[in-house]
Amino acid sequence: MIELSITLGIVLSLLFIEAFGLAAGGVIIPGYIALQLTHFDHILGTIVISFFTFLILKLISKFTFLFGRRQMVVALLIGTLLSILSHHLFIINTAQDTNEFSAVGWVIPGLIAHWSAKQGYVKTIAMLSLTSVIVRLAVIVCFNGAMIDWN
């Protein structure tokens, strides 16, 4: 199931890049986000952390030449550091449930921020949302309508 989700995410991302000229935060990201669509806290954590990574990236780029490979590495480093912090700090325990507003993975927020710096944050999140939902629906259809929880 995980392999199917990642593969469909890559194929759909490539098709959407060709059709619309916009990336969904990298070709592998929609498959991973599709795996987490039932966990709103992880999705929200990923969006918030990628946004802060994007803002820090923009701030750093005002003081230095930050583009290409350098921008990718800095985005991945910042995203990874913020992701690690989120896994330890953004946990809310209530009587009924535990909500973890942490990022999905460690490099995903950095990749989203890197592509956001190239094409804009709103466009990147919009494409990511669209492709992730389509991947999730395609996986559900492939498994005859079963609502699959991968966690």
Task: Note the pLDDT tens digit of each residue in 58-115.
Answer: 999 999 988 889 999 999 999 999 998 888 787 766 667 666 777 888 899 999 999 9
Phi-psi region of 39 (alpha: psi -120 to 50; beta: other; left: phi over 0): beta
Token output for 12: 């759909």
* Residue 12: pLDDT band with limits 50, 70, 90: very high
Domain boundaries, the chain: 2-142
Tell whether the model's pLDDT for residue 148 goes beyond 90: no
What percent of the chain clears pLDDT 70, i.e. is strictly above it? Answer: 91
Closest of 46, 114, 134 to residue 83, by C-alpha: 46
State how far the Cα of 132 lies from the Cα of 13, in Å rounded to an integer.
9
Whether the CB-CB separation of 24 and 121 falls below 8 Å is answered with no
Segment holding 4, helix H or strand E: helix 2-20
User: Of the given ranges (7-11, 39-43, 97-101), which has the lowest mean pLDDT?
Assistant: 97-101
Structure confidence at residue 150 (pLDDT):
54
Give the pLDDT mean for 36-41: 88
What percent of the chain clears pLDDT 90, i.e. is strictly above it? Answer: 63
Closest of 113, 143, 96, 100 to residue 49, by C-alpha: 113
For 119, which DSSP code? H
At 91 the three-state DSSP class reads: strand
Token output for 64: 């230095």
State how far the Cα of 103 lies from the Cα of 96, in Å rounded to an integer.
22
